[in-house]
Structure formats: structure tokens, C-alpha cells
Amino acid sequence: MSGLRLTGLRKAFGPTEIITGVDLEIADGELVVFVGPSGCGKSTLLRLIAGLESVSAGEILIGERDVTRVDPARRGVAMVFQSYALFPHMTVRQNMGFGMRVNRVPKAEAAERLEKAAALLQLTELLDRKPAQLSGGQRQRVAIGRAIVRDPQVFLFDEPLSNLDAELRVQMRAELSALHARLGATMIYVTHDQVEAMTLADRIVVLRAGRVEQVGAPLHLYDDPDNLFVAGFLGSPRMNFLTAEVQASGRLRPEGTEVDLPSPIPNLRPGRRVVIGCRPENVELGDGPLEAKVRTVEQLGNSTFVHMDCANTTIAAELHQRWGTQGDATLRLTLPTAKTQLFDAETSLRIRG
Ligand SMILES: Nc1ncnc2c1ncn2[C@@H]1O[C@H](COP(=O)(O)OP(=O)(O)OP(=O)(O)O)[C@@H](O)[C@H]1O
Ligand SMILES: [Mg+2]
């Protein structure tokens, strides 16, 4: 096993640069999750690491070895795709063994690796079936098994669970987490499911338009985002944002209101435009300086999301209690100063005290 280092990585397709300079270090045995909106370059970055695309600039090191121009089969990586890409005419055993046959792994060793991986993934009873005779989750396990038998230094997963139904995803997520603990392998996992990212990752890499926005442990990114994009990307419903102007008094007046709120950060320049961020679970309903009009109420059983119009925008509150569905009600709310974050409205960057 070994870690991975990306330095100044760039990739252009024709005139369009898709990966616009990525520097990243991944430790040996770490599980790192790439998240970001559709089209931001997650799969492209993974394919560069796998060697399925050539880089336009930069370097890829696996362990101490520069693999930037090394053939995919010799990089010591194994990739698991969303589509599984199993051969339909082959049995589970043949599918899992295929790569080892191609690489001329001695028969006895190949058989041993295959038995071990099958046992680990609870596929032993299914080795003589063909993919069509398997459930979605079982097929996904075969695809993972095919990666495991190659004994790679780095596992690459591109949205491996997105074809599965909700319940199976939760189950496979737990299995992948256990697998990572068991193998102690370096893994890179791409998803746009933020729950997967939060639960699986040692560290999350948030990507946007081919660039790394922030890297950190899941709760670190959740609690301490560097900019509006990261703040808005993790969390559902997302963080509430109110644009406001700093008053001569140092207080903050949200656009569309006559209300001045205390600032979590002292000594901001009067006239400066800022964005107040507050997560739904921190919004307090009842008393408070801001007036809001209820738009929709979502009852999830264990919690309730109340969506309101407030100060030129919409605000979501998460309550851990049931809530009568009186639409159109007007109420008052507080964004507790200690639980709000500030961002610069022009640069989108976090303002730290
Ligand atoms: N071979 C290619 N030629 C030209 N453009 C490409 C090629 N492959 C990807 N792109 C473009 O690169 C961008 C990033 O694509 P990529 O597949 O990496 O996104 P992604 O983050 O994985 O998105 P998704 O979440 O939808 O899978 C997209 O705009 C895509 O159209
Ligand atoms: Mg993709």
C-alpha cells in the first residue's frame, strides 16, 4: 500500500481546461472522498490517476514512484465504476479472475486471492453464477472483488453505489467502510452524495470547476468552511445565507429589512457587504428580530424542515419536533450570533475574526 501525490495537475480537452491545477497529498491507507457538482471534473481527475486519460501538465506520484506516464495496468491502481462493467457471458469467478489471467498471475496464487476476496465479500456461494443472475448489490460486490484480487496500492471508486436503491446504498456504504478498515488500503471515492462523503471519508476534497476549494475532515469542512461554496455544498437543507451591510454601529443590516443584527466579528468596515451564514439546525423560531413568512413545512417524522420567506431570501429551519402545517403563518426568528458565520459578499471568502 502507499499514498499518492498530485502536483500541478492539469487536463484540457481541446481548448477547454477541465482540471485547472490540482495539488493534493493523500496519506497511505487514507480514504479520501472527492465531491462537487456535476461536471466539476471528479471523474476526469480519477481517470487521470488511473491513467485512462493523459495529463496536460503536472505529476502523479504513487508511493515514491512517478507514474504520470506509466501504463494504466502498471500503476498499481484498480478502479471500480458506477456501471460495474462486468462481462455478461462470464461467471462471477471468471469476472473476478480475468485481470489476473491477463497479468499471468500463477494459477495457485490467483485461486487463493480469488477465494479470499470472495469470502471477504460474501460471494463464495455465487462464484458460478453469471451477472444476470445477481442482484444489483451482488454485482457491485463482484466489481469490488475484481479490484481486490488485483491487490492494488490504490483503489479508485467512481460513484460505485449510484445504481443501487436507497436501502442497499446504506448497506453497501457500511460494507465499504468495513472493507477499508479491514484492508487498510488507500482509497479515493467519488460521489456527489454528501451523506456518503460525510460518512465514509477520512478527508473530503471539495472540487469546483476543476479546482480544489477545500480539503479537510468531514466535520471540519461542515463547521469551518473557507468560502460560500463549501458552506453551501455540505449540509441539507443547505446553510442559510443573508446578504447584509455593515452599519456605522458595526451591526449588520440584512437586505430588505430595517433590522440591525449583532455581528459575530467586531470592527468590520461600515458599508462592507457581507453574507451571514447560519445552518438550519441553528435557526431559532419564536422570538427574534427577523420576521418570516412560512412557505412550506416538510415533516420527516424525526425532524421538521420549515421553509420561510425572510429578508429578501428564503430561510430553512430544522426542528426536532413536529409542527402543525399552518401555511402562510408569520413568525419571528433568531440567527444566534455565536452560531453564524460571515463571508465577504464580493469574494465569497470566509471572514474570520
Ligand atoms: N473526453 C472528453 N472530451 C471533452 N470533454 C470532456 C471529456 N470528458 C469529460 N469532459 C468534460 O469535462 C467536464 C468534467 O467531466 P467529469 O466527467 O470529470 O465530471 P464529473 O465531476 O465526474 O461529473 P458527474 O458528477 O456528472 O459525473 C465536463 O464538462 C465534461 O463534459
Ligand atoms: Mg463523474
DSSP state of 237: S
43 in a structural domain: yes
The answer to whether position 231 is within a domain reads no
Ligand nearest to the CA of 158: 2
**Do both 175 and 267 map to the same domain?**
no
Residues 158, 190: contact at Cβ < 8 Å? yes
| C-alpha to C-alpha distances, 227 to 100, 302, 342, nearest whole angstrom | 46, 31, 9
Do 221 and 289 belong to one domain?
A: no
Q: Are residues 37 and 99 in the same domain?
A: yes
Pocket of ligand 1 (CB under 6 A): 13, 18, 36, 38-44, 192
215 and 296 in one domain?
A: no
Average pLDDT, the chain: 93
Atom number, ligand 1, closest to the C-alpha of residue 42:
21
- Taking the model in full, what pTM does it have? 0.92
CATH number at residue 215: 3.40.50.300
CA distance 197 to 235: 11
Helix (H), strand (E) at residue 100: helix 92-102
Asked whether the beta carbons of 167 and 175 are under 8 A apart, the reply is no
Q: Domain tally for the chain?
A: 2
Per-residue pLDDT tens over the stretch 18-77: 999 999 999 999 999 999 999 999 999 999 999 999 999 999 999 999 999 999 988 999
Q: What is the pLDDT of residues 302-336, one digit of tens each?
A: 999 999 999 999 999 999 988 876 667 899 999 99
Answer for the pair 306, 288: CB distance below 8 angstroms, yes or no: no
Q: How far is the CA of 158 from the centre of ligand 2 (A)?
A: 7
Could you tell me if 199 and 303 lie in one domain? no
Is 86 within a domain? yes
Residues 273 and 336 in one domain: yes
Locate the ligand 1 atom nearest the alpha carbon of residue 44 and give its number: 18
Rounded Cα–Cα distance for residues 281 and 288 (Å): 16
319: in domain: yes
Residues 113 and 198: their CA atoms lie apart, in Å, by: 32
Q: Which of 9, 10, 11, 13 to mutate to test the pocket of ligand 1 (most atoms within 8 A of CB)?
A: 13
- Structural domain boundaries enclosing 347: 237-351
Note whether residue 267 is domain-resident: yes
